Structures are given as C-alpha cells and as structure tokens.
Amino acid sequence: MQLQTDPFHELPTFVTHLECGLKGDHYPAGTVQGLSKAGRPLLVKYDLGGIARSVTKGTIAERVPGLWRYREFLPVRRAENIVTLGECQTPLVRIPKLEQGAGELWIKDEGRLPTGSFKARGLCVAVSMAKELGISTIAMPTNGNAGAALAAYASRAGINTFVFCPHDTPEVNVREIAAQGARVWRVNGLINDCGRIVGQGKEAMGWFDLSTLKEPYRIEGKKTMGLELADQMGWELPDVIFYPTGGGTGLIGMWKAFQELKSIGWLTGKLPRMVAVQADGCAPIVKAFREGTQHADLWPNAHTIAAGIRVPVAVGDFLILGAVRESGGYAMSVSDQSIAEGLDEVAKQEGFLLCPEGAATYAAWKQSLAQGLIESSDRCVLFNCASGVKYPLPPADETIDCTVPIDYERFRG
C-alpha cells in the first residue's frame, strides 16, 4: 500500500482485536467497547509484523512531526475521522543548572499541546475513534485537564459532552471546559464520586463513558508519548522516566509503546526504568508497590496541590504496577511542600514554569538521587504534563505610584 505523507488519505489499520489487560480474553475491534467482562481496561492489539513491513523509521522521519506521524500504530481506520487541533511534537528541554553534577536531566514539555496538557493526546485519539464508531454523547469525570481536552475535541467533532469535576478543580479548568462547548458541573466529592455519576448516567441516559481507561483508545493516544520520545531521542531511550501518576494512562501507554517498538526491532537494548510519582496525600500505587500487591486499595481522604494526580483509585492499577515492576522501576511519593519548592526552583533558576504534577516528578528525581535509587550517571526524563500557567500562581502585587517622583533607591538590593 502506498502511504501518503500529508494529508493522510487512506489509513492502513493494523488493529487485530482488543484484549482484556487482566484476563487476556479477546473482543472485536470496530465496535463500541468499554471495559472487559472482568471490569478491567481493554488494550488494542496490532499486527506488528504488518506495521514493520509497511513503515520504516525513515518514512516516519519524512512526515510532519506530531501524533499522527505514528498513524500505523494508532487505531483510526479512516482519515476523515481524525479530529485534530494541530498536535505538535513536544520539546525536550534540558535543565543543566539543576543537574547537580548527575547525569542529564530533561523535561518533556507536554504543556505545549492543544488545551495546554497531554490529555490532548489521549482525547485526540479517543474522540477520533468515538466519531468513527458513531458515538454522539460522551460523559466524563475529570480533575480538569481531561475535561478540557474532551470539550475541545468533541466540540470540533460535533459530539455532545457532559463533564463532572470535583468542587475544588482549578477555576481555569472548569471555565475552559465550559468555554469549549461542554456542559460542566462541580460535584461535592472526588473524581471517583464524579465517576459514579457518569457510570449511572451511562445506564440512565445512554452516555458513552470516557473515564480514564474505561474505553480502549485514550491509552493509544497517550502511547504516542513513548513513540515520540523514542523518535526524538534517535530511538535510544533514557535510563529513567519519572511520570506523575494518576490513572496511569501515560505510564501504561508509554510502556505499551516500548513493547511494540521492541517487538518490531526498532528499539534494542534496555528499556527505561519507569518511576510512578504520586503525592504523599494520595499514593495508592506507592502503597501497593511497597506491599507487593497486584491491585491498589482506595486511598482515603485524598489531598494534594497536584490535582491531576489526585486519583484515589485506578481501574488500571495492575497495569501501572506491572509496567513499573517489569521495567525495574519503582513508585515514590513526594510532599506538597517539596512539589511547591521544586516548582519555584525550576522556574526561578531555569525559567521553566512546571505544573504542580510536573514539579512532583522533579521532587521525586531529587529524592531518588539523594536516596541512591538512581545512578549519578543516569539520563533522566521528567514529564511536565500541563502548562504551568493553567494553575493558580503566587501573588505578585507590588505597585508603583506614577503620579509622584519615583524613589529609585527602592530598586537596589
């Protein structure tokens, strides 16, 4: 089959079927699917040999950078179903002043994507698939960024959306969701309480439930972080990846990407150690990792300033834990104070305004170095998943009265 560069006329699809991530039983692709019979996430399976025969690293390099560059690894069958807002290849930015003489420290800045967060990757692919499958109404619980990305892509696709946020979701998120055409409500509970409203609405109203990992395609969108990272680094991955883990879509997706690339021989050598970073006030995955269990218990009274990782229970817990363990990585939590200090340090010293979740990965890197969990020669990548300007910032309220002579001495010291 002849592949076109851009626009992408015909999309060859290599999807073979869907598979329960826990039990391994199969489900047909091309029809609307939610969770597996066991109530667990479905993973998209591909004819990887077919992909390897139809595309090379060279073909990929000739295409416009961004998510659709990797279209053979994605599930959309018809190009006209692609809903895009101009997803870019996000940059890797090194922060040399803060490396402390250790190995290289890079930030992958996902805040540059449409709607200012990496949720755009997952929702770009999931909404494209919803369009392809003829879904007309979508509902979602969100801590903010996923709802914003859903609102944007769904409005563009002409799909109706109902979005439910915890009451203390950052103001800018709730407003951007509404501004981008979704109907949005604040709920006096946490994200799992919002999830329950969506689950019941699915029964009562026939909504399609686009909660994290409760349909198969957001993972595929997030998987492009792994494909892109490999591509960007010359198909040689870093030693360690620090990922702020809420529902874990990105960590699971990247690990899936690495397996797929490895199985077609595009990656050789060791894969990165995956570090799941959580906040002390909401660390179910860290607790399960320490206790050696496959599933995580619901975390009571979850709280942290990093709203995106305030997820007390994750339906894909076993997939996160599996990836972390298989990669030789670990799970670690950091305090809100170290998140705030890290955010301040990286902004003041390197001019890089992280989001709180991104700052959590920086705090975890520092803690890991101090505790000897990583080698001082390790090349590390932190994920900054959203633009720092989407979050409340500390006040800056010094003023000047321009109607009286200015005392310039005030600028000294």
Ligand X SMILES: *Cc1c(COP(=O)(O)O)cnc(C)c1O
Instruction: List interacting residues with ligand X (CB under 6 A).
Output: 117, 119, 145-146, 212, 244-250, 308-309, 355, 357, 385-386
Question: For residues 166 and 143, what is the distance between their CA atoms, to the nearest angstrom?
Answer: 7
Report the residue number whose CB is nearest to ligand X.
308
Query: What's the min distance (Å) between Cβ of 397 and ligand X?
Result: 27
Question: For residues 354 and 242, what is the distance between their CA atoms, to the nearest angstrom?
Answer: 14
Task: Say which amino acid occupies 208.
Answer: F
Question: For residues 60 and 55, what is the distance between their CA atoms, to the nearest angstrom?
Answer: 7
Query: Which residue is it, tokens 């009274």?
Result: 301
228-262 as b/e: b if 16+ CB within 10 A: bbbbeeeeebbbbbbbbbbbbbbbbbbbbbbebbe
In sequence order, the β-bridge partners of residue 279 are 282, 334
395 dihedral zone (left: phi>0; alpha: psi -120 to 50; beta): beta
- The smaller minimum CB distance to ligand X, of residues 48 and 386, is found at 386
Task: Say which amino acid occupies 38.
Answer: A
Q: Which of 207, 199, 186, 196 is nearest to 143 (CA)?
A: 186
User: What 3-state class would DSSP assign to 165?
Assistant: strand
User: What 3-state class would DSSP assign to 410?
Assistant: helix
Element holding 255 (H helix, E strand):
helix 249-263
Neighbour order of strands in the sheet with 160-166: 183-187, 160-166, 137-141, 208-209
Angle between helix 145-157 and helix 171-179 axes, rounded to 10 deg: 10
